Amino acid sequence: MDYYSGGHLTHGYRRNLSAKMFDAYSYAVDRESGLLDYDAIEAQAMEVKPLVLLAGFSAYPRRINFRRMRAIADKVGAVFMVDMAHFAGLVAGGVFTGDENPIPHAHIVTSTTHKTLRGPRGGFVLCTKEFEEAVDKGCPLVLGGPLPHVMAAKAVAFREANTPAFKDYAHKVVENCRTLAEALKAKGCTLATGGTDNHLLLVNATASYGITGTQAASALRDCGITLNFNSLPFDPNGPLITSGLRIGTAATTTLGMGEEEMKEIAAIIHLALSNTKAALLTTGDNAGKPSKRKYTLDQSSHNEAQARVHDLLSRFPLYPMLDLELLQESFQK
């Protein structure tokens, strides 16, 4: 998938090492809907005849039909590979099933063990029998230095992913993301593809608030909300500025937040961004013109947003089992 359409930069983006190692061709989403066009992908595959057809994303707010992608791969004689790093937890949790589950359809599946799977930083490779020897040889050849404590943490993560509680978490992640999307739309926000079917959503900050993704992300960070600026399909602002924001709900769901909290988060985001403006450049040939990076945020709006974030987090502590006051007293002795 094309980087600007939501694909990962390691999938052949021209400035990534993968583009130096492989002759990469990217497929894009439909310009109008923002969705994958499988007929167009098939036509492109028939023309290119790739050795590997790769599916997966880092910023696509919908689901992929992996059965359809496998059919395309088979038609052109390609190996079908899926990178499910960003949505592995939704696969393990039974949210992505049938055609949306890559496991029954792909020849090779790669993933990280963090992100939605909630394990340690690391990864794994799954493959069909015919690729077993190559995968077993390739990983020690290219990557080495196994860390036993990380291996143990992976085992714990895989065990947790097999519990009913994890399945509840995975489904709640998507429910929360849809609630957040609808709440933002109710505030007048423009979302890529109009919504979400998974754990993330993309806000068009430029269309919604007249600022760049970089400005929006920085303003929200000042208010205590961490997210990232992100390219949108056919983004005129490029990858270093962007027009979009990527927001995920895995972390907030893990904290125990639900529907009401998602509505509050949407309200805080809207409060901050509706009072954020592009700062004017003061030097150079473009002096007096709006900056694409610098911004101004109304102080009272900043204070209110920051206070509401603090109130929200105080009700959902990161480590509720710890007595923080007792720890603080211990460190002061």
pLDDT value at residue 18: 76
Q: What pTM did the predictor assign?
A: 0.91
CA distance 281 to 278: 9
Topology of domain 172-315, CATH: Aspartate Aminotransferase, domain 1 (3.90.1150)
pLDDT value at residue 13: 74
pLDDT value at residue 326: 72
> Which H, E and C letters describe 11-66, residue by residue?
CCCCCCHHHHHCCCCCCCECCCCCCECHHHHHHHHHHHCCCEEEEECCCCCCCCCH
Instruction: Check if 3-161 and 172-315 are the same fold.
Output: no
Query: For domain 3-161, which architecture applies?
Result: 3-Layer(aba) Sandwich (3.40)
Q: What pLDDT tens digit does each residue of the chain (333 aa) get?
A: 998 889 887 777 777 777 778 888 999 999 999 999 999 999 999 999 999 999 999 999 999 999 999 999 999 999 999 999 999 999 999 999 999 999 999 999 999 999 999 999 999 999 999 999 999 888 777 777 778 999 999 999 999 999 999 999 999 999 999 999 999 999 999 999 999 999 999 999 999 999 999 999 999 999 999 999 999 999 999 999 999 999 999 999 999 999 999 999 999 999 999 999 999 998 888 898 999 999 999 999 999 999 999 999 999 988 877 777 777 777 776
Q: Where are the domains of the chain?
A: 3-161, 172-315
